[in-house]
Amino acid sequence: MPRILKAWTATAAAAISLMLVWPASVSWAAASSEVQATFPVFPVTVNGTVTDQMHSQYPLLLYRDITYFPMTWNYTSSLGLAVSWSKENGLSLDKKDGCAPLAQDLTAESNADSSGSQAAVPAPFPVKVNGKTIVNADEPYPVLLYRNIAYFPMTWRFAYEEFNWKTSWDVVRGFAIQSCTRPDEEGRTQAQAEALNLASGGQLAVKDGWVYMNPYHWSEGAHQLVKTKPDGASQTKLSDDKVNSINVVGDWLYYIASEPSKPNAIYKIKTDGTDRSLVSQTNASRLWVRDGWMYYLRLAERSGNDNAPSYTPGGIERMRTDGSEKQTLLSSIDHIKCFFLQGERLYYLTSEGEKKKLYVMGNDGSGKTELRDNVTEFSIIDGWIYYVKDGKQLRKMSADGSVDIPLHEPARTPIFGLNYRDGWVYYVSGSFGVSGYASMERIQLDGTGRQALAEARATALYIAEDQLYFPYWSMGDRTMYHMKLDESQP
């Protein structure tokens, strides 16, 4: 259960709603005291996290063109507010040092089903802000009660003068509020972008204004690892390797190099192209480097033609970045398609017969738990798992699988290549082959506003600042192209 600040609770333990404490004639007063609010139809961002108001259990309100925030535990923690309540003194809000990342309380029910005017009432209890008494009856934008939750107005007076927050408005990006600057916020955003590019295959990585990538994935011919600016300028060759799973760690690139008819191997090279060296001869794929460890899928050789060996994932392992302390985290005969590291958790996808199942375990291999079956693709965005069910339906669920929300089912299937930027989920919809076709599309986090970007047989999607990169498939070869995120064609 989420922790909620309900305006009429005597203590946090009591958690009694307004209607149970105050008589209806007092708490809701006469019909004339009601005000009519609406749900915002524009995006709202809190400390860099784009909110999903469509599925929010406690949606924001818009009253007289002012955005109102619910005083729930998650919102007040994110806004950096210390909150107290008593029956005698009412509600008290005080600015405190620091703030927490926004954790969203979402539900599978859509707020679009209850769109239109929403009845609220001005809060009939005392309110203090930073120790100053607010006469709610005299306020043009009073504190409101909606569904027994206190809602606070984000006016200039409170946001700027009392709490010293930064707010902005943009026709495209909507309303944004920055309540504090977290030292780890930029790093968290960068880490998420790196993880999403790795989950796409790692043919491209971004760090400090540079793109490191393999521009060609051809069945025959030369390959190279290059660095370039996001717009394609200043391209420099670093090596002649055919690379995947590029990780940027300080001044080093860790990656998997492959050669025809030979097992893969893990290499590293300086970001300036010097000091290339072999890290491990381990036959691996899907390399992730985190906190001094290299996580990867171990490849096992299939029986068959000795002149053209093939390999299949045989488990998940990790070793130190110097190649020492090799550990087996998951040893399985089932095919493991991919995995995703999220903090102390490792999510992975398997094929068990005809079923594809999503699991989670600790990043040390402990506590294996099944989350969903019939999952064909997944990524993790702002703590939520975005996944494709049966190859044709885009959904998202909470990290523990308790909340599951349908987002979109396109006309073209399958869906794959999930990535994310600024409130938009990017994906590929369609198939290849002689008569196949596919398109790159994007949709907002709440499942609305779908846009087709371009027709392209893209095998994956990568994001580098304001550029969308994609390997274009043609007769088995893949060549990297890019386009601006706000353009409709490459």
How far apart are the C-alpha atoms of 146 and 150, rounded to whole Å?
7
Q: Of all residues in the chain, what percent are helix, strand and coil, respectively (each to 5)?
A: 10, 45, 45
Contact 60, 75 (CB under 8 A): no
Task: Kindly tell me if the per-residue pLDDT of 17 is higher than 70.
Answer: no
How far apart are the C-alpha atoms of 259 and 264, rounded to whole Å?
7
Task: Kindly tell me if the per-residue pLDDT of 310 is higher than 90.
Answer: no
Alpha-carbon dihedral sign for residues 84, 88, 91, 93: negative
pLDDT of residue 28: 40
Task: Kindly tell me if the per-residue pLDDT of 3 is higher than 50.
Answer: no
pLDDT of residue 261: 72
Residue 354 is which amino acid?
E
pLDDT of residue 319: 98
- 42 by DSSP, 3-state: which? coil
* 432-460 mean pLDDT: 91
Question: Is the pLDDT higher at 9 or at 284?
Answer: 284
Residue 109's contacts (CB-CB under 8 Å, 6 or more residues apart) are: 55
How far the first Cα of the chain sits from its last, in Å, is 46
The string of pLDDT tens digits covering residues 272-287 is 999 999 999 999 999 9
Residue 416's contacts (CB-CB under 8 Å, 6 or more residues apart) are: 376, 377, 388, 391, 427, 428
How far apart are the C-alpha atoms of 466 and 167, rounded to whole Å?
23
* 242-263 mean pLDDT: 93
Task: Tell me which range, 38-52, 250-264, 435-449, is most confidently predicted by mean pLDDT.
Answer: 38-52
pLDDT of residue 11: 34
Instruction: Report the alpha-carbon angle 278-191-233, nearest 5.
Output: 75
The string of pLDDT tens digits covering residues 85-127 is 888 889 999 999 999 999 999 999 999 877 789 999 999 999 9
- H/E element, 196: helix 185-199
How far apart are the C-alpha atoms of 145 and 5, rounded to whole Å?
12
* Buried-exposed string 75-106: b where 16+ CB fall within 10 A, e elsewhere: bbbbbbbebebeeeebbbbebeeebebbbbbb
At 488, is the pLDDT very low, low, confident or very high (cuts 50, 70, 90)?
low
Residue 393 neighbours by CB distance under 10 Å? 17
pLDDT of residue 4: 38
